[in-house]
Amino acid sequence: MTMTPEDVVRVVAEMQGEGIVVPTMTTVPAWRTTAPEAASVACVGFMGGASSLGLGLALAEPGRRIVVLDGDGSLLMQLGSLATVAGAAPKNYTHVVMANGVYHTSGSQGIPAGDRIDFEGLARSAGYAHAETIDNLEDFRIRWPELLTREGPVMVQLITGEAELTPMTAPGGKPFAQQVAELREKLQGA
């Protein structure tokens, strides 16, 4: 059965532990309602920045797992970040790409080469420690505990359908500055 970003978010939230999640685009509304108290900061207002924001957190917090919930269009905008992540080689970094083939949030326009691009292959060629592709929820549930714990950087390309909600159809949530301030407090506060 096709996975939706909402399905993915539920599994990630269930197993988050001490980790920090960096959602963007169509995982943002789902994350906000599924795990409102969790340690996270969404990439909103600077499309393509989730992988890098997650990298900075991973380098600052080597004892916690960082999970980036990226969009395929978003990753294309900062595709060089695959090399930057691979070069920095954070062991605690799991990069999930929602490969839905479209820019869902801006109206479901197709992404370049959406019918053939392979983010697993791109991550592997860039030098990620591990990369794989999963196309159904059952396998994702089974594989996720290992993808969360094995030495990173790990990339998992998820072939997903479209989400129920996008940041356009379900606007709101805390402003980015507030999310930043709250996570800073959580990590650095006494």
Ligand X SMILES: Cc1ncc(C[n+]2csc(CCOP(=O)(O)OP(=O)(O)O)c2C)c(N)n1
Chain positions contacting Mg ion, by CB under 5 A: 71-73, 100
Is residue 103 a contact point for ligand X (CB under 6 A)?
A: yes
Q: Which of 91, 168, 99 is nearest to 130 (CA)?
A: 91
Is residue 181 a contact point for other proteins (CB under 8 A)?
A: yes
Residue selected from 25, 28, 57, 148 as contacting other proteins according to rule CB under 8 A: 57
Answer with the entry of Mg ion, ligand X, other proteins, none that 4 interacts with (C-beta below 5 to 8 A by kind).
none
Please check whether residue 126 is in contact with residue 82, taking contact to mean a CB–CB distance below 8 angstroms: yes
Q: Is 178 exposed, middle or buried (0-12, 13-18, 19+ CB in 10 A)?
A: exposed
Residue selected from 3, 12, 25, 96 as contacting ligand X according to rule CB under 6 A: 25
CA distance 27 to 167: 9
Residue selected from 5, 19, 48, 73 as contacting other proteins according to rule CB under 8 A: 48
- Cβ count within 10 A of residue 149: 14
What single-letter DSSP state applies at residue 64? Answer: S
Stretch near other proteins under the rule CB under 8 A, chosen from 95-103, 110-118, 132-140, 177-185: 177-185
Question: Nearer Cβ to other proteins, position 20 or 111?
Answer: 20
Is residue 142 a contact point for other proteins (CB under 8 A)?
A: no
Is residue 40 a contact point for other proteins (CB under 8 A)?
A: no
Is residue 98 a contact point for ligand X (CB under 6 A)?
A: yes
Q: Which residues lie below 8 Å from residue 81, measured CB to CB, with a gap of 6+?
A: 48, 51, 52, 55, 75
Secondary structure in 3-state letters for 154-188: EEEEEEECCCCCCCCCCCCCCCHHHHHHHHHHHHH
Stretch near other proteins under the rule CB under 8 A, chosen from 8-16, 78-86, 106-114, 162-170: 78-86
Q: Which of 46, 58, 51 is nearest to 84 (CA)?
A: 51
Is residue 113 a contact point for other proteins (CB under 8 A)?
A: no
Is residue 111 a contact point for other proteins (CB under 8 A)?
A: no
- Residue numbers at the binding site for other proteins (CB under 8 A): 41, 43, 45-46, 48-62, 78, 80-81, 83-84, 87-88, 175-177, 180-181, 183-184, 187-188
